[in-house]
Structure 1
Amino acid sequence: MIEPRATKVLVIGYVWPEPRSSAASGHVMQILEVFLEQGWDITFSSPAGFGEQRADLTALGIGEVPIELNNSSFDTFISELAPDIVLFDQFMMEEQFGWRVEKYCPDALRVLESCDLQSLRQGRHQRLKERLKASEDNNDFSGLFAPASREEFEHMANTDLAKREIASFYRCDLTLMVSEVEIELLVEQFRIPRSLLHWCPLMVDLPAGAPVEYEDRAHFLHIGNFRHAPNWDAVLWLKTAIWPLVRAQLPDAQLHIYGAYTPPKATALHNAAQGFHVLNWAEDALQVMSKTRVCLAPLRFGAGIKGKIVDAMLCGTPNVTTPVGAEAMHDQEPWPGAITRTAREFADSAVRLYQDKAQWLVAQAQARHLLSSRYPQSTHGPALIERLIECQRHLPQIRRDNFTGSMLRHHQHKSTQYMAQWIEEKNRNQAHTL
């Protein structure tokens, strides 16, 4: 009897995963772990260069194959690989390689992994810029934190990024979304069929053992990849408005800021006399977080759900954040810390959490409950596999019902194909003249 072969999965990454540098890469790694548990045969490819902190995929049994943009060598590669499922990590990879996948592996299930809704993040960033330009007040940003979904839509709808991103969602057979808030925005405002979306948040299981106790912790912490614009903005707000208010109440307080790819403009903010320490990249973020008393995440814009806050909960570290930071993360559950809208509220909440052991312990317990009720990999992993298998089983019907996606693939893929072929020919001619 011939044994059925394992499902073949090709993941096309925007970058090679760096789970210790970004939540987006961490989510990709969680998905890969779920696939590995099924015994699936996984190949990871990316046109990006190798980063210093990239995960060792080969040690996990995952094949690594670098690929090139605008190069027909990909056509030969994917034809020979013949994957059953192709997962695009971020919509830009679907734009670049989607037409090639459809042409050479038409029966492969095409899945998009969306770490956050980028056009939503861009729209919120633009609103923040307008607010900063219109007012010198660096304290109260509550007006940014309560827009209706229709208002969010109106800030996004006319942008090129939104049109590209939403079109990519339509062209795929399924899109994985980390945020239920973003799912509702897509369904209610952009009219994307709910059947094309699947809620797949960060997937973690509770760590064994008790967290570090209150008395054995010290200092405040902020952590985040500096290449991610919301993290850099959060550091600026901390420096200019929030941290001086904290130090006014706790003169000896220390804030430790960690982040991958720390630029000179960030290290220039370091000031030991003010207790404001910019410490570059953390070798082990969870270890650092476990020794910290309070995590600060003053996000004025952003999208998706926040890996730094999930990490804080895993470590039993209460956090202070904004409505943007807490968005789509707790549903109706109590927040493990504080959600604030102004610099003054943020600073006062941070100081109270730091000093009040009873409040701190309540927040820690709430974090544990929230993780177990909302983020268990043991729940979301099987749900993801079940959804992918269901989509494979009904793929002809899914594509027939998604006429908008079929129409967009017809037009966009033709234009992308011709542009890619023109660039490839241009590159070939240039190489010949050298």
Structure 2
Amino acid sequence: MQSLLIIGFVWPEPNSSAAGGRMMQLISLFQRQGFKITFASPAQDSDFMIDLTAFNVEKKAIVLNSASFDTFVKDLNPALVLFDRFMIEEQFGWRVAENCPAAMRVLDTEDLHSLRLARQKAFKEKREFKINDLLEEDVAKREIASILRCDLSLMISEYEVEVLTTTFKIDMSLLFYLPLLLELDAIPNLDLVPSFQNRRDFIFIGNFLHEPNWNTVQYLKETIWPLVRKQLPAAILNIYGAYPSQKVLQLNSVKEGFLIQGRADNAQKVVKQARVVLAPLRFGAGIKGKLLEAMQCGTPTVTTGIGAESMQGDLPWNGFVTDNPELFANKAVALYQDEKKWIEAQQNGIEIIKQRYMRTLFEVGFKAKIQALQDNLPQHRLNNFMGAVLQHHSLKSTKYMSKWIEEKNKN
């Protein structure tokens, strides 16, 4: 049985964020390929992290800037190492390359951080985002270097694959499109989920540690929700999300029907009880777990172009997509009041799940890609000369910075 080491940015919290759910999907996918998995992370334990041992995954705490990791990874001798986001590859990639040179190195990008940050910067500067903004983003230089140093990067968004191949000229051999993956039971049984008549209220749900979610709640409070309430004076919007700060909690207003509910004990339960999901995201990247979850719950959504990016392909959306606040509010009210439109949107979401997110659509191709790279790894690395250059120079600079910190910590 081959050994897989996953180095996590944090311990997985599938009930707190789409990233946590994504990680558990990857764990399941690799286990189905026969890998024995060790999950290591320098992060502190959290109250909401999943019990990895219950999923037959060994849990290992590791330390940044410490030679103890070298001993650990050499003894484990994994066939494959998966880095959870580029920051983890920066910290541990050189140690893996030095101590286990034959191990295949895979990066799970989650989303393109540089794209999200560049869009956020453009938004805050009150200007339109242009793709060339990425070329000036320091995080992009780090992120692209990490992608080049790895043997394969898993991409969750087709648009981001396009950005990497056109703007940054990354070869497709280094990328694999692997969105959020769902099982058959993710397709909602319309006889079991609440009907239009048995649902009430609007909902937004999202981890508040994620800046695009916090900005969305502010936008809802200041702009979108007042427009909805003009048409539906008794309407209620429930805001759910893990890790709400005091500034989030202060937005709660019973009078305005704007209710901050905090962490949902069962996210799918509260989404199934709602009639419409509102997600007016103004910046971000990747694909949005909250919108895919809404489809699983049979709940129509109103979102923006950023929210729906790369999610439905050529299929009609699970509701409406618009960046105009007045139109956004009008569409939200229409979905809330018109049962025929609501049922049509619900059916659209089911088709999107079936045609774009089923695990069975990707599993065979993913397994073949991993196997082909393992069988041909030396030649694959020779073909990626820029990656070898970056591995050589980045490894040296990161290595000696880390060793300096290590020695400093001893004193």
TM range (shorter): over 0.9
Give the superposition deviation at 1:263.
0.3
Q: Residue 216 of structure 1 corresponds to which residue in structure 2?
A: 198
Q: Deviations over 1:355-385 (max 9, x none)?
A: 0000000000010011000000122233222
Structure 1, gaps ≥5 residues long: 1-5, 135-143, 430-434
Deviates more, 1:156-165 or 1:80-89: 156-165
Q: 1:375 aligns with which of 352, 357, 360?
A: 357
Deviates more, 1:179-188 or 1:154-163: 154-163
Give the superposition deviation at 1:26.
1.2
Q: 1:310 aligns with which of 254, 271, 292?
A: 292
Cα separation, 2, equivalents of 1:98 and 1:270: 44
Cα separation, 2, equivalents of 1:369 and 1:96: 41
Q: Residue 116 of structure 1 corresponds to which residue in structure 2?
A: 111
SS at match of 2:125: helix
Alpha carbons 1:78, 1:101 under 8 Å: kept: yes
2:329 aligned with 1:347? yes
2:391 aligned with 1:409? yes
Q: 1:93 aligns with which of 88, 93, 110?
A: 88
Alpha carbons 1:118, 1:303 under 8 Å: kept: yes
Cα separation, 1, equivalents of 2:46 and 2:362: 29
Give the superposition deviation at 1:209.
3.0
Give the superposition deviation at 1:207.
3.6
Alpha carbons 1:261, 1:281 under 8 Å: kept: yes
Amino acid at match of 2:96: V
Aligned positions, number: 407
Amino acid at match of 2:99: Y
Alpha carbons 1:117, 1:303 under 8 Å: kept: yes
Q: 2:254 aligns with which of 260, 272, 278?
A: 272
User: For residues 23-38 of structure 1, what are the structure 2 equivalents within 5 Å?
Assistant: 23-38=18-33
Give the superposition deviation at 1:342.
1.4
Cα separation, 2, equivalents of 1:39 and 1:181: 31
SS at match of 1:157: helix
Q: Residue 177 of structure 1 corresponds to which residue in structure 2?
A: 155
Q: Residue 410 of structure 2 corresponds to which residue in structure 1?
A: 428
Amino acid at match of 2:114: S
Amino acid at match of 1:393: D
2:176 aligned with 1:198? yes
Structure 2, gaps ≥5 residues long: none
SS at match of 1:382: helix
In structure 2, do the counterparts of structure 1 residues 208 and 359 end up closer, same or farther at CA, with 3 Å as the change threshold? Answer: closer
2:70 aligned with 1:67? no
Q: Residue 157 of structure 1 corresponds to which residue in structure 2?
A: 135
Give the superposition deviation at 1:208.
5.9
Amino acid at match of 1:302: G
SS at match of 1:272: coil
Q: Residue 3 of structure 1 corresponds to which residue in structure 2?
A: none
SS at match of 1:214: coil
Cα separation, 1, equivalents of 2:377 and 2:61: 29
Amino acid at match of 1:178: I
SS at match of 1:11: strand
Q: Residue 15 of structure 1 corresponds to which residue in structure 2?
A: 10
Cα separation, 2, equivalents of 1:58 and 1:240: 44
User: For residues 282-293 of structure 1, what are the structure 2 equivalents within 5 Å?
Assistant: 282-293=264-275
Cα separation, 2, equivalents of 1:33 and 1:296: 31
Amino acid at match of 1:105: C
Q: Deviations over 1:175-221 (max 9, x none)?
A: 00000001001101100101100000000133463222111111000
In structure 2, do the counterparts of structure 1 residues 208 and 38 end up closer, same or farther at CA, with 3 Å as the change threshold? Answer: farther
Q: Deviations over 1:60-108 (max 9, x none)?
A: 1000001000000000000110000000000001000001000110000
SS at match of 1:241: helix
Give the superposition deviation at 1:326.
0.3
Cα separation, 1, equivalents of 2:81 and 2:308: 31
Give the superposition deviation at 1:38.
2.5
Q: 2:48 aligns with which of 50, 53, 64?
A: 53
Amino acid at match of 1:100: R
RMSD value, Cα? 1.0
Cα separation, 2, equivalents of 1:216 and 1:380: 36
Alpha carbons 1:110, 1:172 under 8 Å: kept: yes
Cα separation, 2, equivalents of 1:32 and 1:298: 31
Q: Residue 137 of structure 1 corresponds to which residue in structure 2?
A: none
Could you state the TM-score of these two structures normalised by the residue count of structure 1?
0.92
